[in-house]
Protein backbone atom coordinates (compact mmCIF):
# COMPACT_ATOMS: atom_id res chain seq x y z
CA UNK A 1 0.00 0.00 0.00
CA UNK A 2 1.28 3.48 -0.82
CA UNK A 3 1.94 6.35 1.54
CA UNK A 4 -1.15 8.55 1.38
CA UNK A 5 -1.02 12.36 1.30
CA UNK A 6 -1.72 14.12 4.60
CA UNK A 7 -5.15 15.41 3.51
CA UNK A 8 -6.32 11.91 2.59
CA UNK A 9 -5.04 10.49 5.88
CA UNK A 10 -6.73 13.38 7.69
CA UNK A 11 -10.08 12.60 6.00
CA UNK A 12 -10.12 9.07 7.44
CA UNK A 13 -8.60 9.95 10.81
CA UNK A 14 -10.96 12.88 11.39
CA UNK A 15 -13.93 10.72 10.39
CA UNK A 16 -12.95 7.96 12.78
CA UNK A 17 -12.26 10.40 15.60
CA UNK A 18 -15.40 12.49 14.85
CA UNK A 19 -13.40 15.71 14.46
CA UNK A 20 -15.42 17.94 12.14
CA UNK A 21 -12.94 20.83 11.99
CA UNK A 22 -10.04 18.52 11.11
CA UNK A 23 -12.23 16.81 8.52
CA UNK A 24 -13.04 20.12 6.83
CA UNK A 25 -9.41 21.27 6.98
CA UNK A 26 -8.54 18.43 4.58
CA UNK A 27 -10.69 20.03 1.84
CA UNK A 28 -10.21 23.06 -0.40
CA UNK A 29 -12.78 25.83 0.04
CA UNK A 30 -14.41 25.04 -3.33
CA UNK A 31 -14.15 21.23 -3.02
CA UNK A 32 -16.62 18.85 -4.59
CA UNK A 33 -17.92 15.51 -3.22
CA UNK A 34 -19.87 12.98 -5.27
CA UNK A 35 -21.35 10.35 -2.96
CA UNK A 36 -23.63 7.80 -4.66
CA UNK A 37 -25.50 10.15 -7.01
CA UNK A 38 -25.47 13.03 -4.53
CA UNK A 39 -23.31 16.10 -5.05
CA UNK A 40 -21.93 18.46 -2.44
CA UNK A 41 -20.13 21.62 -3.52
CA UNK A 42 -18.20 23.85 -1.15
CA UNK A 43 -17.29 23.50 2.51
CA UNK A 44 -20.74 24.31 3.88
CA UNK A 45 -22.40 21.51 1.90
CA UNK A 46 -19.52 19.14 2.73
CA UNK A 47 -19.88 20.04 6.43
CA UNK A 48 -23.58 19.13 6.36
CA UNK A 49 -22.82 15.86 4.51
CA UNK A 50 -20.09 14.94 6.99
CA UNK A 51 -22.31 15.62 9.98
CA UNK A 52 -25.32 13.66 8.72
CA UNK A 53 -23.64 10.80 6.85
CA UNK A 54 -20.47 10.24 8.86
CA UNK A 55 -20.43 11.80 12.31
CA UNK A 56 -24.08 11.43 13.36
CA UNK A 57 -24.01 7.69 12.57
CA UNK A 58 -20.49 7.15 14.00
CA UNK A 59 -18.94 5.79 10.80
CA UNK A 60 -15.58 4.10 11.22
CA UNK A 61 -13.30 3.45 8.26
CA UNK A 62 -10.61 0.78 7.99
CA UNK A 63 -8.38 1.20 4.93
CA UNK A 64 -7.87 -2.12 3.17
CA UNK A 65 -6.01 -0.97 0.04
CA UNK A 66 -4.74 2.21 -1.60
CA UNK A 67 -2.90 3.22 -4.75
CA UNK A 68 -2.20 6.20 -6.99
CA UNK A 69 -3.57 6.23 -10.53
CA UNK A 70 -3.34 9.06 -13.06
CA UNK A 71 -2.82 11.70 -10.39
CA UNK A 72 -5.66 10.48 -8.16
CA UNK A 73 -5.48 8.51 -4.93
CA UNK A 74 -7.83 5.53 -4.74
CA UNK A 75 -8.58 4.11 -1.31
CA UNK A 76 -10.70 1.08 -0.55
CA UNK A 77 -12.02 1.15 2.99
CA UNK A 78 -14.41 -1.02 4.91
CA UNK A 79 -16.84 0.85 7.04
CA UNK A 80 -19.11 0.28 9.96
CA UNK A 81 -21.29 2.49 12.06
CA UNK A 82 -24.75 3.00 13.47
CA UNK A 83 -26.71 3.07 10.21
CA UNK A 84 -29.21 0.74 8.56
CA UNK A 85 -27.23 -2.13 7.06
CA UNK A 86 -30.25 -3.87 5.52
CA UNK A 87 -29.30 -5.37 2.13
CA UNK A 88 -25.73 -4.06 2.37
CA UNK A 89 -22.77 -6.37 1.79
CA UNK A 90 -20.73 -7.52 4.76
CA UNK A 91 -18.09 -6.29 4.87
CA UNK A 92 -19.23 -3.00 3.35
CA UNK A 93 -16.40 -1.70 1.18
CA UNK A 94 -16.32 1.72 -0.44
CA UNK A 95 -13.98 3.17 -3.05
CA UNK A 96 -12.84 6.70 -2.30
CA UNK A 97 -11.19 8.49 -5.23
CA UNK A 98 -9.40 11.67 -4.19
CA UNK A 99 -8.12 14.41 -6.48
CA UNK A 100 -5.93 16.95 -4.75
CA UNK A 101 -4.98 20.54 -5.37
CA UNK A 102 -2.27 22.29 -3.37
CA UNK A 103 -2.20 19.32 -0.99
CA UNK A 104 -5.90 19.47 -0.13
CA UNK A 105 -8.88 17.49 -1.37
CA UNK A 106 -10.37 19.17 -4.43
CA UNK A 107 -12.66 16.27 -5.47
CA UNK A 108 -13.85 13.14 -3.75
CA UNK A 109 -15.91 10.41 -5.42
CA UNK A 110 -17.36 7.67 -3.20
CA UNK A 111 -18.72 4.47 -4.78
CA UNK A 112 -19.12 0.73 -4.34
CA UNK A 113 -16.41 -1.52 -5.79
**For residues 22 and 14, what is the distance between their CA atoms, to the nearest angstrom?**
6
pLDDT at 76 exceeding the cut of 80: yes
> 22, 1, 2, 3: which is closest to 12 by C-alpha?
22
* Mean pLDDT for the stretch of residues 25-48: 97
pLDDT at 23 exceeding the cut of 90: yes
Chain mean pLDDT for the chain? 97
**pLDDT, tens only, 89-100:** 999 999 999 999
Res 1: pLDDT: 72
pLDDT band at 20 (very low <50, low <70, confident <90, very high): very high
pLDDT at 26 exceeding the cut of 80: yes
pLDDT at 61 exceeding the cut of 90: yes
**pTM of the predicted model as reported, rounded to 2 decimal places:** 0.96
Domain positions in the chain:
6-111
Q: Name the fold adopted by 6-111.
A: Nuclear Transport Factor 2; Chain: A, (3.10.450)
**For residues 102 and 37, what is the distance between their CA atoms, to the nearest angstrom?**
26
Amino acid sequence: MIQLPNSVKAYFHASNEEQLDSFLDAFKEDAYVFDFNREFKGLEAIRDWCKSDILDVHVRFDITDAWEQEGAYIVIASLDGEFDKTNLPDPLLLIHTFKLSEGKIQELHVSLP
